[in-house]
Structure 1
Amino acid sequence: MVLMKDRIFYFDELRALAILFVLLAHVIQYFPININYMTSPTLLSYLTISRMGVPLFFMLSGALLLNKEYSLGSFFKKRFTRVLIPAAFWYIILLISVASANGFNFDLAYLWGQGAEFPWFVCAIIGVYLVMPVFNSFIKEYGMKGVEYFILIWVILLILTNSCLVENYYIGLIFANVGIYIGYAVLGYYLANNDFNIYSLPMVVFCLIIFIATIGYNMYNAFYFAVPVYIESISIIIQCSALFLIFRYLSKFAVFNPKNSLSKVHNFVEKSIIGRIVYILSISSYAIYLMHIIVVNFLLQYYPIETFNLIPVVFLLLAIITLAIVFVLSKIPGLNKIVGIH
C-alpha cells in the first residue's frame, strides 16, 4: 500500500468524490421499483451530479498512467492483476449472497435477473488498459500537441454522436466499447499536466463558476424537461473538467501561498481526520465499487427507499458501511490486493 505522503492529495480527493458519486448514482437507480428514475425529474436532478463518478475514475487513470515508461508485459501483468483478482473475489461473494437470499438458487440466468451481473465497469477498465499502451506511445511521440489533436477529434465525434442533425449510428459504434473511456483518460492526462498559464486562484474561481453554471443547466433541464445526462454528454465533460481543475489549482495555490486563509483551510483538511478519510476512500475506491451492490441489496431489505428524502439517508448509510468494511479489511495482512485496496 502506498503511504499518504507519497501520494498526490488532489488525486485522492477526486477519487474519493468519484466513488461517492457512484454510490449516489446506484442508490438512485434502486429508488422505488414503481418509478423509472430516467423519467423522474427529481431523480434526474440527482444524477446530474452523480454522473461524474465514472468519468473521473478514467480521467485519473489517464493522469497516472499515460506518458510513462513501461514494458507491455509489466503493464498488463500489474494492471490486470489489480483489476481481475478483486473483481472475481467480490463477484463470487455477490453470487453467493444473491443465491442465499433466494433459496440458494445458483442458476446464472436467474442470478443475473436478480441483479448479480458481472460489473460492466470492470469490462470497460480492461478495454481501456488494452489500448492504453498505444495511446501512451502516441503521447510520448507527439506530446501535448498530439493530446490536443486527439481531444479535439474526440469532442467533435461526441458532438456528432449527440446531434440529431446527422445519422449517428456508425459514429456511435466508435464509442460502443472503450472510445468514450479512453477519451476521458487522455483528457485527464491533459488537465493534470498542461500548463494553462493562468494563476491558481483565478483558475479556481473561473472553473468554479463554470462548474456551478453547468450543474445548474443540467439540473434545470432534468427537473423541468426530464432530460437525462450521460457520460458522453458535453455538459458532463465540462463538469468533470472544471471539477478536476478546481482541485488541481486549489492544491497548487495552497503550496505556493501557505499563509493565505484558503490555503490554511486546505492544508488543515489534508492533515486532519478528513484527509485520512479521503485517503481511505481513495485507496479503497475499487473495493467499494465492487462490493457496494452487496451492501445496497442488504440495506434495501431494511430501508426500502419510498420517499425522496430517504435517498440521502440510504446514501450516507451505504458510504459509512462500505467504508467501515474496507477499513477493517485493510487491517488484515495480505488481503489488500485480493479485495482491491491499493
Structure 2
Amino acid sequence: MKKYWVTNLRVLATISVILLHAAGFGSLHVKKIAYSDWWICHIINVFGRFAVPVFVMLSGYLLIGKYEELSTFLKKRFTRIFVPFLIWSLVYLIWSNFKGLANERTPWTVGDFVKKILAGGGGGAGHLWFVYMLLGIYAFTPVISRWIKGTENSPLPNTRRNEVWYFIALWVVGNVVYTLINKWFGFEIKFDIRYFTGFVGYFVLGYYLGNTGTKLSKSTLILLFLAFWGLTAYICYVVSWQAGKYVYDYTDYLSLPVMGMSVTIFLLFQKACDVDFMPKVMQELDITSYGVYLVHALILRILSREYRINFTWIHPLVGITTHFLITALISYLIVKIISKIPKVGSWIVG
C-alpha cells in the first residue's frame, strides 16, 4: 500500500531546504540589517530546520528491515547517491574556480580536487554535507536493520522495543544533555557514548515512529510544532543578540527544539496527510528531489551574486520568495532535462 504521506512530507522537506537556504544568509546579519528584516529571514530559516532530520527519519522508516543481500543493498544505495554526488562536487569545484570567491577556489590539480571532495564543502558546496552524512548512515544500515528487525515479521517486534527506546534515550542524552551541560556548566562529561550520537538517532527514530505512530490529535501536533518553532526562533534570537553574531547552538539539527519540530511534523503528516494530493505533481517532485537538492545551491548562488536576487532585493519577503521560487523552478528544469539524457541521466541527478 502506497504511503502518500511519505511523498508529501519529502516534497515539503525539499521545498523547505531551498527556502531555508534562501533566507539563511540574511539571518547571519545580526544587528547589521533592520531588526524587522532580520526577523523575517530568521523565522523562515528556523522553519526549515526540520527538513534534514525529516529526510533521515523517512530513510530510516523506509530502509530499516528491508532485507536485501549486503552487496545488493550497497550497490543500489551507493550508486544512486554517490555517483551524482561526486559529479556535482566536481561541478561546484569547477564553477567556483571560474566564478567563486577567492576562498572557494581550488588549485587545478587532481590531488587538490580529491582532497576537497574528501574534506567536504569544496567549491562552496557546503550543502553537500548532507550526502556525506547519508552515505555514512547507509553504510551502517545493514547492521542496524538486522539488530532492530531481527528475523521476525512484525513491523517492530516487542522484543526490540525496549532496546530501541534505550538507543533513542541515550541518543538524546549524548546529543542534548551532554552538550547543554558542557555549555551551561563549563565541563565535559567523559563517559563515552559517541556511538549514540549523530544523525543515526533520527534514522532509528523514523523507523520507530513510522511503525508505531502516535495517539496525539492532529491539532495537538500542529500546536506542538508551532511551539517548538517559536521556541527555537526565540532562544536563537536571545543568544545571538547577546553575542552580537548568529549562534547556531539552538538551531542545530541535533538540538532539542529542532528535534521537537522534526518529530511533530513527521507524526503530523503520518496522521493527517496520507492523502493522494495532486498525485502526478507530487510524484514528479518526489522523484526529482535528490537532484534538486544537489543543484539548488548553485542556482541560489548565481541569482544572489550575479543578479542580486536575495533577501536584500526590494524587501526581504519579496527577495526571499523570488529567490526561492526561481531557484526551485530552474533546479527542477535542470534535473528534468538531464534525466532525459539516455543511459547517463540518472547517473547525474539520481
User: Do they fold alike, i.e. is TM over 0.5?
Assistant: yes
Label 1:18 to 1:251 Cα distance change in 2 as closer, same or farther (>3 A): closer
Structure 2 contact 13–54 (Cα < 8 Å) conserved: yes
Deviation at 1:293?
A: 1.8
Match of residue 156 from structure 1: 173
Give CA-to-partner distance per residue, 1:34-71, whole Å, 9 cap, x none.
6699x955433222211111111110110011122222
Residue type of the alignment partner of 1:188: G
CA distance in 1, matches of 2:192, 2:13: 25
Match of residue 54 from structure 1: 52
SS of alignment partner, residue 316 of structure 2: coil
Residue type of the alignment partner of 1:233: S
Match of residue 239 from structure 1: 261
Match of residue 236 from structure 2: 222
SS of alignment partner, residue 199 of structure 2: helix
Structure 1 contact 161–172 (Cα < 8 Å) conserved: no
Farther off after superposition, 300-309 or 185-194: 300-309
Name structure 2 gaps, 5 residues minimum: 151-158, 241-246
Match of residue 279 from structure 1: 283
Give CA-to-partner distance per residue, 1:261-303, whole Å, 9 cap, x none.
xxxxx44xx2x3xx33322222222111111122122211113
Residue type of the alignment partner of 1:57: F
Deviation at 1:101?
A: 2.7
Match of residue 63 from structure 1: 61
Label 1:106 to 1:304 Cα distance change in 2 as closer, same or farther (>3 A): same
CA distance in 2, matches of 1:321, 1:133: 36
Residue type of the alignment partner of 1:131: F
- Which of 219, 222, 231 aligns to 1:205? It is 219
CA distance in 1, matches of 2:92, 2:168: 38
Structure 1 contact 45–223 (Cα < 8 Å) conserved: no
Match of residue 99 from structure 1: 97
2:183 is equivalent to residue 167 of structure 1:
no
2:206 is equivalent to residue 188 of structure 1:
yes
Match of residue 346 from structure 2: 337
Match of residue 88 from structure 1: 86
Give CA-to-partner distance per residue, 1:169-191, whole Å, 9 cap, x none.
7579827xx93211000011011
Match of residue 142 from structure 2: 133
CA distance in 2, matches of 1:297, 1:283: 24
CA distance in 1, matches of 2:192, 2:223: 31
CA distance in 1, matches of 2:303, 2:287: 24
Structure 1 contact 160–168 (Cα < 8 Å) conserved: no
SS of alignment partner, residue 46 of structure 1: helix
Structure 1 contact 286–340 (Cα < 8 Å) conserved: yes
Percent identity over the alignment is: 28
Deviation at 1:32?
A: 9.1
Residue type of the alignment partner of 2:172: V
SS of alignment partner, residue 303 of structure 2: helix
Label 1:330 to 1:50 Cα distance change in 2 as closer, same or farther (>3 A): same
Give the TM-score of the pair, scaled to structure 1: 0.79
Residue type of the alignment partner of 2:71: G
Give the TM-score of the pair, scaled to structure 2: 0.77
- Which of 303, 309, 313 aligns to 2:308? It is 303
CA distance in 2, matches of 1:183, 1:151: 6
Name structure 1 gaps, 5 residues minimum: 1-5, 253-265
Label 1:336 to 1:192 Cα distance change in 2 as closer, same or farther (>3 A): farther
2:187 is equivalent to residue 179 of structure 1:
no
Give CA-to-partner distance per residue, 1:296-320, whole Å, 9 cap, x none.
2221111343252311221121112
CA distance in 2, matches of 1:318, 1:126: 26
